Structure 1
Amino acid sequence: MQNVNFFKKQGGRWFSQRTTHYLKTGGSKAGKSDLEITYFDENDDTVVRLCGEAHWPAADAVGGLRIVQKSTIIGGKTRNQSTLLVAIATDDKSGKLLSQPEGQPISQLSQYRFENDVLTITTDANGLRAEERWWFITDKLRMRTHVLSDKEGQTMASFCSEIRLGDVSA
């Protein structure tokens, strides 16, 4: 399955550099993040638990990711966060993502699809639409874009280049 392999490939320690542009105000910010991404197989207790909380059959799960992120915006504060994502397959190229920030209830339901080795995640919430794209240049270099739109059009766009530093420590 294409989506399982793509999600497994996310696992590891990553360094991310980000540039964010606020399209309505014309402002920009740069930032960096250290990411630790752990892949969970579809039968892992963490994946099964989250599916149960969402009232979805665990048998539909493809797998899950725990993303622990320590981010700094240049000139701003350091922020730590951890999120658990579980992918639910619709077919080999599309499905749904459950998102749960650590210690909180499931907060988002997103749609995902694969086209030309690019994962596109779309989330609609609170009058906003977020579209994020992830793709690999090599096994150690990943790119991500994120566009946030409201009813009046695009409001924010960001670009991240990410370098794999190694495996997540056991």
Structure 2
Amino acid sequence: MDFFRMSAGQWNSQRTTHHLPFRRAELGGSSIAVEALDAGHPSVIEICQLHEVDPALAVGGAYVTWHGAMAWDKDDENHEGSTVFALVPDAADPKQGQLLRERGYAE
């Protein structure tokens, strides 16, 4: 949970994508917000239940939202979304465990 607590806040990301066939680079950026969630937060409980994990084992989680744009975006392209993470440490070794999420890959 220390990572999520220390990451809480508003972040900006800049990136360059290199399109080798076109010999061009595309600039982009994202605004990312991270909110640490306590173990008893309804979203953490819901993610645990989704993955059939006892919510009492979770130590907390995070709610992450993002909004991004790339230089070559078309009007209908959307690079925004949100996700919730829940942390469930192993009983034998709390430095490892499961990082649960309600959706697959998202950018």
- Name the one with the larger helix percent: 2
CA RMSD of aligned residues (A): 2.5
Match of 1:93 in 2: 95
User: Residues 11 and 32 of structure 2 are in contact (CA less than 8 Å); yes or no, is this contact kept in structure 1?
Assistant: yes
Q: Deviations over 1:31-86 (max 9, x none)?
A: 10011111101121211121012110112212111111001112214421111111
- Name the one with the larger strand percent: 1
Unaligned runs of 5+ in 1: 102-106, 109-170
Match of 1:152 in 2: none
Unaligned runs of 5+ in 2: none
TM-score (norm 2): 0.75
Q: Percent identity?
A: 29
Matched to 1:95, the amino acid is G
Q: 1:97 to 1:21 in 2, by over 3 A?
A: farther
SS, match of residue 44 in structure 2: helix
Matched to 1:99, the amino acid is R
User: Pick from 44, 53, 66: which aligns with 2:50?
Assistant: 53
TM-score (norm 1): 0.50
